[in-house]
Amino acid sequence: MLTAGKTLPTHAVCGRRAVRINAVAAPEKAGVLNVNRNENFGKLRAGYLFPEIARRRKAHQEKHPDAKIISLGIGDTTEPLPKYIAEAMAKAAAGLATREGYSGYGAEQGQGALREVVAGTFYSGLRTADEIFISDGSKCDIARIQMMFGSKPTVAVQDPSYPVYVDTSVMMGMTGDHNGTGFDGIEYMVCNPDNAFFPDLSKVRRTDIIFFCSPNNPTGAAATRAQLTELVNFARRNGSILVYDAAYALYISNTDCPKTIYEIPGAEEVAIETCSFSKYAGFTGVRLGWTVVPKALKYADGSPVHNDWNRVMTTCFNGASNIVQAGGLACLQPEGLREMFSMIAFYKENARILKDTFTEMDFKVYGGDDAPYIWVGFPGKPSWDVFAEILERCNIVTTPGSGFGPAGEGFVRASAFGSRENILEAVRRFKEAYGN
């Protein structure tokens, strides 16, 4: 009997002559398609960071079925939607059941009223409504921006930074293979305590695209006006496009840290800004954001980036949900703004509680003042080992710093998104496990 996967020497007798027969294993069954996989996906070393964390959390829960796990991992909001904002969406949804209130496809760029109020609220005197494109969130827009750029541009990212910038660059074919530390072809701009989490731009080589997030996810560091001026001037000298992620801008308390890149003179000629309602109004599941593409931003041949972005949005997107846009409009009314800032204040207080706790236990702690993230140092320890240790000892999920880039090794990120009850219980567990 021949067994697949093994080579078995046998002898058959044909007349008087012995014949040696080698049984060769059957090859793995191929699919029916004659289509090759996108080779760039093969470069990605593992699954996307947060699904991998979820997988490990599930395995821990199965091993310890009675454990009450607290998640300080993925930055997912936990508090109910503000009432005024939820009611606006409920009214819009109910209106769709009436002849007068029904609407179908809308403008792919977003409803005019919402574009106007976003421009007026966040970019008064800096940007105009027709430069605002409403979307289903920053993450999706980053992927669409990469599609617009194509596979040829070179890319620089903060290190550490939100994994989407690197992973989409790999998927698009902008990079080489993983070299054991990072991806060949990506310029990693190291941001660590030694440089106050702002890269030494004199050591950064010129790239076509620069991804920059402030306040930074995961370190929680917000760039100052002087630092952002340096960054904009660096982009201008090099003729680079700066993709500026301002998803946490409203968490900034430091008056020396701008809430939009367009506060910096000359940014309109080099910068795209993306932002979201996710962490402002609890819209992580509702999905609503925007991207700003100034008309002054032009490619080397003089063609406006704005025109290409408009083409991407009208070709690949049917516009954000009309119900959700009603919620966005409510967010930016006086009552909605009050509710939104109250939610932000709640999460900022969580961040303060966590930061104070780690500080009291003599950890090196960063972030938490202008962002909902706490960046905690565990020198000499691999981040995934620290993640596993905290999960095992405390039944708390954090995020390993190395998942955000090579410079994140030796850190974990703790998210302030959680109920106050869970934050206080997490503090109790941390003190029990790591307190003096």
Paired residues of 391 in beta bridges = none
Predicted pLDDT of residue 37 = 93
pLDDT in tens, 380-405: 999 999 999 999 999 999 999 999 99
Q: Three-state SS for 9?
A: strand
E strands in 98-225: 132-135, 155-159, 186-190, 209-213
Q: Find the helix or strand (DSSP H, E) in which 291 lies.
A: strand 289-292
Of 423, 370, 376, which Cα lies nearest the Cα of 401? Answer: 376
342 Rama class: left (phi>0) / alpha (psi -120 to 50) / beta: alpha
Q: How far apart (Å, rounded) are the C-alpha atoms in residues 156 and 242? A: 10
Q: Give the residues across from 18 on adjacent strands.
A: 13
C-alpha 70: how far from its chain's center?
21
Residue 169 structure tokens: 């660059």
Which are the contacts of 393, defined by CB distance < 8 A and separation ≥ 6?
433
**pTM for the predicted model, two decimal places:** 0.91
Position 337, amino acid: L
What pLDDT is recorded for position 51?
84
Q: Tell me whether domains 47-80+336-434 and 83-333 share a fold.
A: no
In 64-124, which residue ranges form alpha helices assigned H by DSSP?
83-95, 112-122
Strands 17-23 and 209-213: unpaired
117 vs 111: CA distance, rounded Å: 10
| Longest CA span, the chain | 100
Which residues have C-beta within 8 Å of that of residue 21, sequence separation ≥ 6? Answer: 9, 10, 11, 12
Q: What is the pLDDT of residue 17?
A: 43
Give CA–CA dist 298/211, Å, rounded.
18
Q: Are 343 and 282 in contact (CB under 8 A)?
A: yes
DSSP string for residues in 170-198: HHHT-S--B-SSSBTTEEEEE--GGGTTS
Contact 165, 159 (CB under 8 A): no
Tell me how far apart the alpha carbons of residues 245 and 212 are, in angstroms, rounded to a whole number. 6
Instruction: Provide the CATH number for the domain formed by 83-333 in this structure.
Output: 3.40.640.10
Say which residues have a Cβ less than 8 Å from residue 264's Cβ, sequence separation at least 6.
Answer: 225, 228, 229, 231, 232, 258
Calpha distance 53→342 (Å, rounded): 30
CA angle 238, 127, 164 (to 5 degrees): 55
Q: Please tell me the distance from the alpha carbon of residue 374 to that of residue 82, in angstroms, as a whole number.
A: 25
Fold of 47-80+336-434: Aspartate Aminotransferase, domain 1 (3.90.1150)
Strands 411-415 vs 373-377: parallel, antiparallel or unpaired? antiparallel
Where in the chain are the domains?
A: 47-80+336-434, 83-333
pLDDT in tens, the chain (436 residues): 444 444 444 444 444 444 444 444 555 577 899 999 999 999 997 667 888 898 999 999 999 999 999 999 988 999 999 999 999 999 999 999 999 999 999 999 999 999 999 999 999 999 999 999 999 999 999 999 999 999 999 999 999 999 999 999 999 999 999 998 999 999 999 999 999 999 999 999 999 999 999 999 999 999 999 999 999 999 999 999 999 999 999 999 999 999 999 999 999 999 999 999 999 999 999 999 999 999 999 999 999 999 999 999 999 999 999 999 999 999 999 999 999 999 999 999 999 999 999 999 999 999 999 999 999 999 999 999 999 999 999 999 999 999 999 999 999 999 999 999 999 999 999 999 998 7
- How large is the C-alpha radius of gyration of the chain? 25
Residue 433: CB atoms within 10 Å:
15
